[in-house]
Amino acid sequence: MSDNHALTHLREEEQFFFETVRDFACEKVLPLRERMDHEGKMDPALMKSLWEMGLMGIEIPEKWGGAEGSFFMSCLAIEAMSMVDAAVAVVVDVQNTLVINALLRWGSEDIKDRYLPLLAEKWLGAYALSEAGSGSDAFALSCRAEEQPDHWILNGQKLWITNAGEAELFIVFANVNPDAGHRGITAFLVERGFEGFSVGKKEDKLGIRASSTCELVLKDCRVPKANVLGEVGVGYKVAIETLNEGRIGIGAQMVGLAQGCLDYTKGYLSERKQFGKPLAAFQGVQFQFAQMAAELEASRLCVYNAARLRETGKAFVREAAVAKLISSQMAQRVTSQCLDLLGGYGFVKEYPVEKFFRDAKIGTIYEGTTNMQLMTIAKMLLG
């Protein structure tokens, strides 16, 4: 980060953590970024290094092998990683803000003892809510769970599941009693090796291409009764509360992505000359750059505010929706404007701005679309 914009808002230990993750991203991720994006595949050695760095169990207590850090630190890790590659950042994001958060809040001691050490050491997690007919209407689930004497049987399909290509543990939402509507929804912990479970088609995406997004197929999948996350029929609460937190992580991803794009563009504007002087010397360009920097800073402060509120146990749902809304829209504007400023260079893959531009698009879609954020904000303001 050329001007350390984020660091002025952080405590000393947070600054050190942010810089450590950023340096790791520059050293380990940057050399692999272009190849991983082209191949649409995460480098296995890089994945291993994420655990070695402690980035895949930030909030897991030390007794289960984690770093025992804070939710805010998870958001900082996502932001710092996104400055280099948002695809790697979303792997860290889903693991920490969705999967681990859900287990810490809703998991029994037995679940925590069994799964948190694995997640902290080597297992990747995934969060499986969406279906072909269940996107923004998240609880219109067709996936069903039938109770047996000593286990559950799950049948159905899930779509657009982040991390599914490499994950070993999946939080799968299914309805045990469709007549009860959303009160029948239950969260189950499904291991990759469970009978009747398989990972299907991998999506070929516009952006964050190295991050796997796949279909899940459950065909008479046997899940132990001990693997119910929370209680039977409260899966909707597990989903809502976890996604409220996850949206802050997406906001951090968009802020980091936009910062990385803006930093690269700043260097280009200082070096590229037209009409005998650097582009950065033209007032029209300066004003465009200043506008982008101001919107980015406002988005960062919204994300940090939501993360601090959540961390201190205060109400944060509206603030999380605001943070995701404005940061995702900002990231699209900033990356598009940066691409324009680079002209023809911005449109070719030799330069990273086109990847930042492609990666930014997902921010207004996953973990709640723009319209869903507006709905949340409006309901909380107007009742």
Active site (catalytic) residues: 367
How many Å apart are CA 230 and CA 91, to the nearest integer?
A: 24
Beta strands in the chain (DSSP E): 125-128, 144-147, 151-162, 169-175, 185-191, 197-202, 213-224, 228-229, 273-274, 277-278
Sign of CA dihedral 71, 72, 75, 77: negative
Name the 3-class secondary structure at 97: helix
Q: In angstroms, rounded to a whole number, what is the distance separating the alpha carbons of residues 331 and 258?
A: 5
Q: Residue 105's CB: how many other CB atoms inside 10 A?
A: 14
Phi, psi of 200 (to 5 degrees): -100, -140
Tokens of 321: 């929706």
φ, ψ (nearest 5 deg) of residue 84: -105, -50
Sign of the Cα torsion 10, 16, 17, 23 reads positive
Backbone angles phi, psi at 220, to 5 degrees: 50, 45
